[in-house]
Amino acid sequence: MKILAVDDEKIALDHIVSILKRVEPDAEIIGCRRGTQALDEMKAGDIQIAFLDIDLRDLNGIELARQMKLMCPQMNIVFTTGYGDYAGEAFDLHASGYVLKPLTDEKIRRELDDLRHPLEEAAPGEKLRVHAFGNFEVYDKSGIPMSFQYAKSKEMLAYLIDRCGTFCTNGEIMGILWGDEATDSKRSYLKNLRTDLSSALEHAGYPNVLIRRRGMIAVVPDEIDCDYYDWLKGKPAAINAYRGEYMVQYSWSEFTNSQLEKKK
SS (H, E, C) the chain: CEEEEECCCHHHHHHHHHHHHHHCCCCEEEEECCHHHHHHHHHCCCEEEEEEECCCCCCCHHHHHHHHHHHCCCCEEEEEECCCCCHHHHHHCCCCEEEECCCCHHHHHHHHHCCCCCCCCCCCCCCEEEECECCCEEECCCCCECCCCCHHHHHHHHHHHHCCCCCEEHHHHHHHHHCCCCCHHHHHHHHHHHHHHHHHHHHCCCCCCEEEECCEEEECHHHEEEHHHHHHCCCHHHHHHCCCCECCCCHHHHHHHHHHHHHC
| Domain 2-113, CATH | 3.40.50.2300
With cut-offs at 50, 70 and 90, classify the pLDDT of residue 124: very low
Q: Report the CATH number of the 128-263 domain.
A: 1.10.10.10
Least confident of 64-78, 188-202, 240-254: 64-78
Mean pLDDT of 112-133: 77
Instruction: Give the confidence band of 122 by pLDDT, cuts at 50, 70, 90.
Output: very low
pLDDT average, residue stretch 136-162 = 94
Give the residue, 107 or 126, on which the prediction is more confident.
107
Domain extent listing, the chain:
2-113, 128-263
Average pLDDT, the chain: 90
**pLDDT of the residue at 47:** 86
